[in-house]
Amino acid sequence: MHTTYARPQGLAPDQVDAAAPAADVAPAAAACAATATDRHGTDWTCTRPEHPGQDEHRAAFDVGGYGPPGTVGRAWTDD
């Protein structure tokens, strides 16, 4: 796994990071369900599957996550 984006830890839970990629959240049935574990032991589940020509997964916060709901907290590639 290669991390391409990680939400900065210093942001407040409701603060949006301008550098975050677009969530492009997929319908539940289309999500790829790929998972990744970051170096802090947090598990992330893909909410945006790979798109044609792009091999990046993205995981967005849900309600109760440490970030605004629907914003990307982590993005990664499988390589």
What are the pLDDT tens digits along the chain (79 aa)? 788 999 998 999 899 999 999 888 776 666 677 787 777 777 788 888 766 667 888 888 887 778 888 889 999 887 7
pLDDT at 17: 95
Taking the model in full, what pTM does it have?
0.78
pLDDT at 53: 65
Q: 2 and 79 in contact (C-beta within 8 Å)?
A: yes
- 3-state DSSP call for residue 29? helix
Q: 38 and 50 in contact (C-beta within 8 Å)?
A: no
Distance (Å, whole) CA 24 – CA 59: 10
The full set of domain ranges for the chain reads: 1-7+19-47
